Amino acid sequence: MRADHGPVVPAELSPGVRGWVVTDYATLISWSRDTTTFTHDARLWRDFTEGRIGPDDPLLPMMAPRASALFLDGAEHQRLRRAITDALGAVTPAHLASVTTRYADRLIDEFCARGRADLLNEYARMLPLLVMNDLFGMDEDQGLRFVAAMRNLWAGVDAERSNAEAERALSEVVDAKHREPGDDLTSRLIRHRAGLSDEEVIMQLLLVIAAANEPTAALIDSALRAVLADPSLRVPGGPSPAALSDLVERVLWRDPPITNYPVIYPRVDVPLDNGRVIEAGSPILLAFAAANHFFQRENAEQVADGANRAHVAWGAGPHRCPARDEATAIATIATRRILERLPDPALAVPPEDLRWRLATLSWSPVSLPVRFTPQAPAAPAPEPEPAPAPPAEPARGGAVPALSNLLKRLLVRRG
């Protein structure tokens, strides 16, 4: 496609919906930073505003205008983004590591004695859900419904219904936190000095939790596949923290968790070097995977050891993912705990037999079957002394007592 069209490729995004895909690293970064020529504001999407996008189009829930930091620019973007970063900033790295490690160990305990597991659906997709349940104060049912709906949205499956279900689950969370605020990210967004409306709180939750669930699961899956392909990393006790950090960065170069998203729109017609013109209001997908791929081809030595972290896996410019450090930390801990708990993991099928689900905005694995020597579950750690907490604190991590039940229910719904 690059040979025929250059670094910016015309594409049919869904039946009858035209747009563009920017695959060049330097162009993607430049356009992401150029907020004068380009905007994330989908109200400029001409086909949408002129009524040419049908209500059942699978792109609509991921591209239609929202009161979200991802879909706004300027002062409004800064106001909403500040609320998100302040809420996330209250979660210390130590607390995030503790929560992630606890849930990772409990998930591993569910399958370690079997000697086999689907590390995608039994682990990688479960762990971000449980961590987000805890940090955002969601209960088991809300978390289950939300993550199932978001997975369908990323895959373009039953988009209208999935979007409605995701928003409904988050609305219930916000209502509950109005009644009983707690020490959680949802309550912090509600009471933030930016004065977010309930709709704005729901939209920021939708943005952050969506980014923290399926993309983080995909990153964990990619990191685990990289470990399974490299025997030097499967050493007693697992690789060093530096080696594991470099591995995750290499994965973010080679296999970023988000493929062709988000979307920007030119405010004016943009001429290309090949004589074509991107008309104002045309959607342009940011192809993070392609941009990283072509940069790697031309600069292989610079990114081979994982020390170069200039990839665009988390975006570029003012809309760069605000939760990138949290997602990377969860993925790194998830990978380390597998290597520390399971001494000899190996793919249960040839690599070429792994299956993928392809969609316009992303491609996602279907499963990651692994075999290993059966291990006894870890001895339960003593419960910490309870600390004083706001009234709603007991609801945090509501999925913990019913972890086996939650796992089974999500596996049933995963299709």
pLDDT tens string 111-120? 999 999 999 9
Tell whether the model's pLDDT for residue 398 goes beyond 50: no
- pLDDT digits 0-9 by tens, 150-208: 767 666 666 677 778 878 888 888 999 999 998 999 999 999 999 999 999 999 988 88
pLDDT: is 379 or 415 the higher one?
A: 379
Q: What are the structural domain ranges in the chain?
A: 2-413
Query: CA torsion, points 278, 281, 282, 285, in degrees to nearest 10?
Result: 110
Stretch 79-102: mean pLDDT: 95
CATH H superfamily, domain 2-413: Cytochrome P450 (1.10.630.10)
- The pTM assigned to this predicted structure is 0.84
Is residue 40 pLDDT above 80, yes or no?
yes
Q: What does pLDDT average to over the chain?
A: 85
Question: Predicted confidence band at 4 (pLDDT cuts at 50, 70, 90)?
Answer: confident
The gap between the terminal CA atoms of the chain, to the nearest Å, is: 32
Three-state SS for 147-200 is HHHHHHHHHCCCHHHHHHHHHHHHHHHHHHHHHCCCCCHHHHHHCCCCCCCHHH
- Closest CA relative to residue 217, chosen from 138, 127, 157: 127
Please state which of the ranges 71-75, 237-241, 285-289, 386-390 shows the lowest mean pLDDT: 386-390
- For residue 354, give the 3-state DSSP assignment: coil
Give CA–CA dist 170/143, Å, rounded: 9
The tens digit of pLDDT for each residue in 211-257 reads 778 889 999 999 999 999 887 777 776 778 888 888 899 899 988 98
Q: What's the pLDDT band for 393 if we cut at 50, 70, 90?
A: very low
Each residue's pLDDT tens digit, 296-350: 887 777 666 666 788 999 999 999 988 889 999 999 999 999 999 998 899 999 9
